């Protein structure tokens, strides 16, 4: 696999970026994540080069991403496509957080009984992480599947890197990218999506179906192109940002 293109000429491309494991290193818990000012400035410059055609596409909520990347306010898809904010600022989301109340209670009991596991309440979705307690993987998978079954067909289990998430069915990162591609400034551009996890594969399929390029980060997924880690992603973005016209 080769290095991804540097998006020349910039007006022909649009860029979609996963966050955890792609832009920033994975941490033991999602609450430990940090976005430094250098990365924020870099993303601002890349967005400027691409005339604003850059969006975050993440499993985190939009609210969480806004807090991490403040003061940036980028087009964003959160919760694996369950919610999305367009470049115009219009936000839409699916699912009612209250419908997961019983599941949250059951998952909290599950986590309490298995030290090292962690409950992440995202509002419209809820996740259990077992990165710090991998010995409980089998029991967590069984229990989460059973709890999700009780919610009916409107919800399903989304797998991730040492985590499971109960979320509204019928939404994916690929769907979110498709929606962005119907709107300015993304419409008419060739899409590129960089991601590191199985949850990003739907997005890979979508950008490739539009004649674009997928970039697998790390060793969990394979895309058309490859970058070794978030540091390599940052170096690639720096090359793109260098195309920014100097201020006069």
Catalytic residue positions, numbered: 18
**DSSP letter (8 states) at residue 87:** T
What is the rounded CA–CA span in Å between residue 45 and residue 64?
Answer: 22
Are 184 and 53 spatial neighbours (Cβ–Cβ below 8 Å)?
no
**Residue 176, phi then psi, degrees to nearest 5:** -65, -45
Alpha-carbon distance of 134 to 111, in angstroms, equals: 13
| Cis peptide, bond prior to residue 51, ω within 30 of zero | no
Whether the bond into 71 is cis, omega within 30 of 0? yes
CB neighbours of residue 53 within 10 Å: 27
Q: Any alpha helices (H) in the chain, and if so which ranges?
A: 37-49, 62-69, 101-112, 137-149, 173-180, 201-209, 230-241
Q: Enter the DSSP assignment of 238.
A: H
Give the helix ranges, DSSP H, for 50-200: 62-69, 101-112, 137-149, 173-180
């Amino acid at each position: 696999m080769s290095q991804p293109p540097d998006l020349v000429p910039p007006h022909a491309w649009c860029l979609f970026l996963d966050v955890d494991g792609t832009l920033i290193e994975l941490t033991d818990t999602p609450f430990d994540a940090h976005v430094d000012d250098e990365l924020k400035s870099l993303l601002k410059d890349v967005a400027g080069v691409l005339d604003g055609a850059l969006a975050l596409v993440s499993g985190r909520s939009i609210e969480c991403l806004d807090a991490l990347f403040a003061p940036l306010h980028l087009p964003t898809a959160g919760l694996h496509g369950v919610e999305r904010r367009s470049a115009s600022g219009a936000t839409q989301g699916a699912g009612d957080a209250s419908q997961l109340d019983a599941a949250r209670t059951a998952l909290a009991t599950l986590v309490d009984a298995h030290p090292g596991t962690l409950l992440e309440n995202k509002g419209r979705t809820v996740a259990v992480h077992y990165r710090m307690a991998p010995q409980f993987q089998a029991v967590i998978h069984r229990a989460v599947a059973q709890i999700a079954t009780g919610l009916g067909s409107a919800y399903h289990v989304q797998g991730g890197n040492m985590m499971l998430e109960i979320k509204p069915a019928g939404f994916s990162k690929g769907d979110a990218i498709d929606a962005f591609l119907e709107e300015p400034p993304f419409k008419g551009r060739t899409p590129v999506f960089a991601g590191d996890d199985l949850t990003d594969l739907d997005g890979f399929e979508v950008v490739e179906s539009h004649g674009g390029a997928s970039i697998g980060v790390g060793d969990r997924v394979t895309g058309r192109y490859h970058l070794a880690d978030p540091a390599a992603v940052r170096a690639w973005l720096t090359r793109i940002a260098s195309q920014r016209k100097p201020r006069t």
